[in-house]
Amino acid sequence: MRLDRTSWILPLAVIAVIAVIAAACGGGESRPAADASAEAPAGEGVVVQYDCIPNYANWGGVTALYERTTGVRVPPDMKGSSAAMAALEAERDHPQADCAYYSGAIGFEAARRGLHQAYRPAGWDSIPDALKDPDGLWWTVHTAAVALVVNTAALGDVPAPTSWDDLLDPRYEGLVAYDDPTWGGTAYTFVFGVNELMGGSAADFEPGLAYLEKLDANAHSYPRESVYNDVLRGEIPIWINADGNGYKMRWVDGGPVEVVIPREGTVSMPLVMGMAAGAPRPEAAKAYLDWLLTPAAQSEFAQAYFRPVIPGAMPAEIEERFLPATDYERVVHLDLAEMAGASDTLKRAWLERIRRGGGG
């Protein structure tokens, strides 16, 4: 497939989504902009969101602000994207969650499997068309790019890597981690994306798997939980993850951390929401999903250096701390339909070739 190399600055970002999802539940009408001070529906003081990891994308800060604003609690949930989709599928007949958060391809796939109901939240019209399903089965709340998050103090005298090829150098043995892609959507985006960067396609995983087999020699681990704090402490010196996590470590936590966009390029990642089919608290869920697209919520996400999807919500002092725009010209945008379609096959191949083939 063709990769369009364009600058990673919303709202100009274009995700090449070549398929639309048939909405089994029918389309929802968009609602007027939500008031961030709106009260929660009576008797519904909790919204359950799968994949609500507090130190990823500042979900801890976002949900705390929502509780202060409305009195509605959104408990932490430590599932990654793939685990969230699996839980919705397992609970299809007895839904427990009201909504879920995912990397774009996993959210696309969850919608395709009928795990979402259609809903167009307030603020819908401000989301670029390429970053939402036309029937409201998923929509983007913010975006990121896969990057190298490097704790330079933990590396000591070893220079920070600047490319994917650098990561194969024996000097980085035991120093590199990326999440298990069968658990986390960021890692699945990386695994699919690095295959494209290495010359593969949705029909040919060999270039990416061959690279990942080589990288396995330097692997510290393939976590199935957030290792944000481990990286910040230097216990994992190099983490392949969202750029926003690295910026937050540096600018919020004061860590000795650099964000690196590899010389060969990297891949973009829309992060999306979907309303669970059969959500047990539908009115509370709708009010919460509306609120996530308000300026207050979007600005709160930006405190973790994830780019808001709503134009104008990125504070200037946050924007200026990103790497130069020229670095983001090396970011490519992937086809969510192809990524979703490859999900099961690529995850199985990764387990066989990398995890079970000797990976740590």
Residue 41: is its pLDDT beyond 90? no
Q: What is the pLDDT of residue 35?
A: 34
DSSP three-state, residue 42: coil
| Structural tokens at position 222 | 């393939």
Query: What is the average per-residue pLDDT within 175-180?
Result: 97
**Measured distance between the N- and C-terminal CA atoms of the chain, rounded to whole angstroms:** 32
Residue 129: count of CB within 10 angstroms of its CB? 11
Question: Which run of H or of E encompasses 246?
Answer: helix 243-251
Residue 197 CA to residue 342 CA, distance in Å, equals 16
CA atoms of 4 and 242, how far apart (whole Å):
20
Give the model's pLDDT for residue 4.
Answer: 38
Question: CA 20 to CA 132: how far, in whole Å?
Answer: 10
At 13-31, the pLDDT tens digits run 333 333 333 333 333 433 3
pLDDT (average), residues 247-271 = 96
Give tens-digit pLDDT for 289-299. 999 999 999 99
262: preceding bond cis by omega (within 30 degrees):
no
Quick one: pLDDT at residue 355? 86
Q: Which of 3-7, 86-90, 104-108 has the lowest mean pLDDT?
A: 3-7
Measured CA to CA, the distance from residue 183 to residue 326 in angstroms comes to 32
Q: What is the pTM of this model?
A: 0.79
Distances (CA, A) of 35 to 69, 224, 275: 10, 37, 20
Cite the beta strand spans of the chain per DSSP E: 49-50, 99-103, 116-117, 139-151, 176-178, 219-221, 238-242, 257-260, 266-276, 307-308, 331-332
